[in-house]
Amino acid sequence: LTEDERLDEMFRRALAESRHPPEPPLDEMWAQVERRAFDHAPVRSVMFARTSLWATPALAAAALVLGVALGRYVIPRVDNTSIKVSQVATSTSDAAEPVHHETVAGTSDTASAVPSVIAATTQTPDAGKPDSRQRSRTSSARLAARFEDLGGGTETSRYLAQTGALLASLPSGHTVVESDTAIAVRAEELLTQTHLLLDSQAGSDPTLHRLLEDLELVLAQVARLRTPRNGSDLQLIHQALAVRDVIPRVHDASVEASIND
């Protein structure tokens, strides 16, 4: 052996001794691996299988624009139309009054116009002074129906996957939390979708409805993380998630929705 080779061998043996590994805590490590790899596997697989959703921010932007457009234009228009139709309904002597048509989001395309006769038939006799709650409920139902027409089934699946991802990514409640605007903003967006889903056909399913109501509360709490808080707020959120078993239910519903897509 040359001197260099003898040195190399000495170094190798010294390093092997210095870096002699301890016994691996196999069971302890497996508990973590099992929890992370298997307990949330379906949620994870849905998230990654749908990479195209994440890779197409245009979809998210379109959904946001749609939400804003519906919120700003459809609701007031439905309300005005309801009032007009109610007036028509109560004015039976005015038979010459033309039938009103409401148009969605202000479009003048007659092909997309929806006859408002249905709205007229749902009005009470004293609808000339429309009850605001009734009007709101009608508007909300129409909005939800419109939401479903525009692909609400797929939206449910996407919403659940994204909500599951957000909740799974919440930091633990053991440390002081800096202001996390990104999470809070995302929670607000998902909260809006929760409201839409609650009023949609999807929300008529009792199991999903209960889950959406729980998510509504949790997301509202998460949305408040916009300002710096101590760990207790997050601990409360985590407790709420645990007590109501929210994440496994989101996961189950997500799988169910993805199967039904």
Partner 1 sequence: VSEAHLITRVLAGDRLAGRELYDMHAPRVFRLAYRMTRDEEMARECTQDTFVRAFARLSKFRREAALATWLHRIAVSTVLEAQRSMRRRAARFADLDEVKDRVVEGTEHDFELIARLEQAVEELPEIYRTALILHDLEGYTHAEIADVLSIPEGTSKTRVSQARAKLRESLVTLRD
Q: How far is the CB of 42 from partner 1 (least distance, A)?
A: 8
Which residues on neighbouring strands pair with residue 102, listed in sequence order? 114
Among 1, 2, 25, 108, indicate the residue that binds partner 1 (CB under 8 A): 25
| Cα–Cα distance, 198 to 221 (Å, whole number) | 18
The residue (of 49 and 105) whose beta carbon lies closer to partner 1 is 49
Give the footprint of partner 1 on residues 45-84 (CB under 8 A).
48
Question: Of the ranges 18-26, 143-151, 194-202, 252-260, which one interacts with partner 1 (CB under 8 A)?
Answer: 18-26
Q: How far is the CB of 21 from partner 1 (least distance, A)?
A: 4
Residues 6+ apart with CB under 8 A from 52: none
Based on the shown chain and the rule CB under 8 A, indicate whether residue 11 belongs to the binding site for partner 1. Answer: yes
Nearest to 203 by CA among 145, 163, 128: 145
Instruction: Note whether 196 and 148 are within 8 A (CB).
Output: no
Instruction: Note whether 144 and 200 are within 8 A (CB).
Output: yes
Question: Of the ranges 19-27, 90-98, 154-162, 168-176, which one interacts with partner 1 (CB under 8 A)?
Answer: 19-27
Among 18, 52, 93, 169, indicate the residue that binds partner 1 (CB under 8 A): 18
Q: How far is the CB of 165 from partner 1 (least distance, A)?
A: 14
Which residues on neighbouring strands pair with residue 177, listed in sequence order? 229
Token pair 């990654």 is found at 48
| Cα 209 → chain centroid | 13
Based on the shown chain and the rule CB under 8 A, indicate whether residue 13 belongs to the binding site for partner 1. Answer: yes
Task: Tell me how many residues contact partner 1 (CB under 8 A).
Answer: 31
Based on the shown chain and the rule CB under 8 A, indicate whether residue 7 belongs to the binding site for partner 1. Answer: yes
**Rounded to whole angstroms, what are the CA distances from 126 to 88, 94, 123?**
12, 17, 8
Among 1, 2, 21, 132, indicate the residue that binds partner 1 (CB under 8 A): 21
Number of other CB atoms surrounding residue 160 within 10 Å: 30
Contacts with partner 1 by CB under 8 A lie at 3-4, 7-8, 10-19, 21-22, 24-26, 28-30, 32-34, 36-38, 41, 44, 48
